[in-house]
A and B are shown apart, each in its own frame.
Chain A
Amino acid sequence: DAKTTQPPSMDCAEGRAANLPCNHSTISGNEYVYWYRQIHSQGPQYIIHGLKNNETNEMASLIITEDRKSSTLILPHATLRDTAVYYCIVMKTSYDKVIFGPGTSLSVIP
């Protein structure tokens, strides 16, 4: 079973912030939270990752709660091209048996 739970789907108005939640209540101290997205069955695209501090890059921000049991990916100004399935995973090393859940299907609406 996946170590994370996400809502199956969400809608967001174009130009508004999209806030995608992820629950990872069993995360261990040395596991990172990673976010990927997949558009039209292309290969998943890396978005952002973090251990315990909030992170920001040119694509998104990642907010991790203090107890690390949940996190939120924020796309600050969603566009139609952000319509995709977003996966939240936890991982220690590159050779972990990474378990992807079903993710959140985000639809950005004009």
Chain B
Amino acid sequence: KAGVTQTPRYLIKTRGQQVTLSCSPISGHRSVSWYQQTPGQGLQFLFEYFSETQRNKGNFPGRFSGRQFSNSRSEMNVSTLELGDSALYLCASSWEAAGGSETQYFGPGTRLLVL
């Protein structure tokens, strides 16, 4: 079974621009979470989607948004990019069974550099 895929893998943008990152979960997985990883702040939870609905959100400004499509693929968007948005953006998917925890499987990430 193919793993989580993220596109693009690398991206360079300038301040003020916006960017859209894409994530395709493992086939059959319906939950998609997004994380930001920077050297200073580590891995931070952005938001999680299930059945096209955002169920949880981390402490990030409104410039960070996301959505999920009916096929469970997800996109995240960052508007008005700032230098501090340079990071590795990770997507993780899980199956979501009733009750109990669910293992999240991570993609390779999109490395965003804002100049």
Contact = CB atoms under 8 A, between A and B. Distances in A.
Most interface-central of A45, A51, A99, A103 (chain B CB within 10 A): A99
Contacts of A43: 4, 90, 92, 106-109
Contacts of A96: 56
B58 interface: yes
B103 interface: yes
B58 A94 contact: no
Nearest to A45: B106
Given A93-B101, A94-B48, A95-B50, A44 B42 contact: no
A51 B96 CA distance: 17
Contacts of A91: 101
Interface residues of B, number: 30
Contacts of B35: 100
A51 B102 CA distance: 12
Interface in A81-107: 87, 91-103
A44 B43 CA distance: 10
B104 interface: yes
Contacts of A93: 101-102
Contacts of A94: 31, 33, 48, 50, 94, 96, 101-102, 104
A41 B109 contact: yes
- Which 5 pairs between the two chains have the least Cβ-Cβ distance? A43-B106, A100-B43, A94-B102, A94-B94, A32-B101
21 contacts: A32-B101, A41-B88, A42-B108, A43-B4, A43-B90, A43-B107, A43-B108, A44-B92, A45-B106, A46-B105, A49-B103, A51-B101, A91-B101, A95-B31, A95-B48, A95-B55, A97-B56, A98-B33, A98-B104, A99-B45, A100-B44
Given A31-B101, A95-B50, A102-B42, 14 more contacts: A32-B101, A43-B109, A44-B106, A49-B101, A49-B103, A51-B101, A87-B43, A91-B101, A94-B94, A94-B104, A95-B48, A97-B56, A98-B33, A98-B45
